[in-house]
Chains A and B, each alone.
Chain A
């Protein structure tokens, strides 16, 4: 296989080849590093590439394998993580000027788990500044560019994760998702992105944006890879008060269960309003296919959906301001215009709004539990109502109409699920006439990532959208 072919392997495929000693960690790591060297001038997906450390780790993993030592399920597999996670000895910028020289002294919990599973860390990925935005346009490090068209945004905030995985610069990546930041770039870059249930994965060592809604999850080229990574990441961490002690099922083993017997609800309104016609056509076709494969499709109401955006805003903006208050006063000019504006806007919400929003959240969760997830196992919607817009349009000034409109559009269908805390995945389900990816969002009951992954895997197996490669990458 050529270097480009190696870098196009899924995490699971590469893992099988490594275990069978048909592929060495050094070969696959070198292939990803070569892809990074070739494509980074166009994509800007990485903020920091730790090539030397990756090569050393790959050599160590190769020696372990030669000695017959197994170190874990990701043994020798190169991955990268959003630059919001601490990795000891590596700078953690959060995509900001403020933390440009910050070097982590300890591993985040998820970095610890990746290393324990044998993964090779390639570096830290670009993001929207402080993960506080949905476009991925970063004024300090430049925008990550979409491999399907480098003049277009990747979506954010896990912008570099979306670009790097789609381009084969790494086999898989981690992202964070406070309002859609895993699923949005997954959708716009044509990959799989999974936001697990709130509390499923530890957030210790990851800079918060809004602790009520922050989630960590995998971004991969296949659903199987997301299942594999979730098994590595999930589980109680006493060091994170929001992390819940729930059993972690064997997600990969139950992937092939198919969709027969699964009940999938399609919201009557909101989730199909103001959607690009090409997006709606692709998503409705995907839902129809799931029905033909044996799922029971029915229309559902989405309770209190019009109240959700207000509750999200009244919680997220004050929490973000609380995180940033000191830096905002001391180094205001070091923030990008859009993030600073959103943070300042947090000051206009009163304690009463925050309390009311938390109470409303309780009512919303109850309503969805009783009226939606008691009747269906999953809901299906578009991940985003639009495909990737131009970087120029996405990066317009914060007060301008077009920049705000793009941001609001991007988060509209993903952020209600952050308020609910349910697991949700984006899986490729088509392409626009311009060749831009479209994502199908499937969300399930709390702690039931298994059903989400099973349905997404069944859909993926029946289609070939995930096998397409961006022209930029295919040219290698």
Chain B
């Protein structure tokens, strides 16, 4: 939980907002929703909306 509190504090600070200590816990509780959203977005197939869609990366060299 301490890690989540710290994570919430850092994110709020980076976003430029001050969250009083008594509300950091609630904000940390909301991180689960953010992480679920992030996983959904990361897993999406962006198809033609993928900026690098038309560029094919070369095969990784075999060793």
Contact of B17 among A310, A328, A357, A363 (CB under 8 A): A328
Contact of A345 among B18, B20, B30, B49 (CB under 8 A): B30
Check A345/B33 contact, CB under 8 A, given A359-B46, A360-B46: yes
Within the assembled complex, what's the spacing in Å between the Cα atoms of A260 and B24?
Answer: 57
**1/0 per position for B21-48, CB-CB distance to A under 8 A?**
0010011011101101110111011111
Interface size on B, residues (CB 8 A): 31
Nearest opposing residue in chain A for B39, CB measure: A310
In the complex, what residues of B have CB within 8 A of residue A350's CB?
A: 38
Whether a CB of chain B sits under 8 angstroms from the CB of A375 is: no
Within the assembled complex, what's the spacing in Å between the Cα atoms of A307 and B38?
Answer: 11
Within the assembled complex, what's the spacing in Å between the Cα atoms of A363 and B46?
Answer: 6
Within 8 A of A (CB), among B38-63: 38, 40-42, 44-50
Within the assembled complex, what's the spacing in Å between the Cα atoms of A280 and B12?
Answer: 42
Within the assembled complex, what's the spacing in Å between the Cα atoms of A401 and B12?
Answer: 24
Check A307/B44 contact, CB under 8 A, given A345-B33, A348-B27, A399-B29: yes
In the complex, what residues of B have CB within 8 A of residue A399's CB?
A: 26, 29
A346 touches B15 (CB 8 A): yes
Whether a CB of chain B sits under 8 angstroms from the CB of A380 is: no
Contact of A311 among B8, B18, B31, B41 (CB under 8 A): B41
Nearest opposing residue in chain A for B23, CB measure: A344
**1/0 per position for B3-14, CB-CB distance to A under 8 A?**
000001001101
Contact of B49 among A321, A329, A341, A360 (CB under 8 A): A360
A348 touches B49 (CB 8 A): no
Within the assembled complex, what's the spacing in Å between the Cα atoms of A314 and B37?
Answer: 7
A344 touches B27 (CB 8 A): yes
A-side residues, CB < 8 A to B, are: 306-307, 310-311, 313-314, 321, 325, 328-329, 332, 340-341, 344-350, 353, 356-357, 359-360, 362-363, 366, 398-399
Can you give 17 A-B contacts (C-beta < 8 A)?
A: A310-B40, A310-B41, A325-B17, A328-B17, A329-B18, A341-B27, A341-B30, A344-B26, A345-B27, A346-B15, A347-B15, A348-B12, A348-B31, A350-B38, A356-B41, A363-B49, A398-B26
Within the assembled complex, what's the spacing in Å between the Cα atoms of A184 and B16?
Answer: 33
Within the assembled complex, what's the spacing in Å between the Cα atoms of A398 and B45?
Answer: 33
In the complex, what residues of B have CB within 8 A of residue A348's CB?
A: 8, 11-12, 27, 30-31, 34
Check A357/B34 contact, CB under 8 A, given A347-B12, A362-B49: no
Within the assembled complex, what's the spacing in Å between the Cα atoms of A359 and B17?
Answer: 27
Nearest opposing residue in chain B for A366, CB measure: B48
Nearest CB in chain A: distance from B51 CB, A: 8
Within the assembled complex, what's the spacing in Å between the Cα atoms of A261 and B23?
Answer: 56
Contact of A363 among B12, B27, B31, B44 (CB under 8 A): B44
In the complex, what residues of A have CB within 8 A of residue B30's CB?
A: 341, 344-345, 348
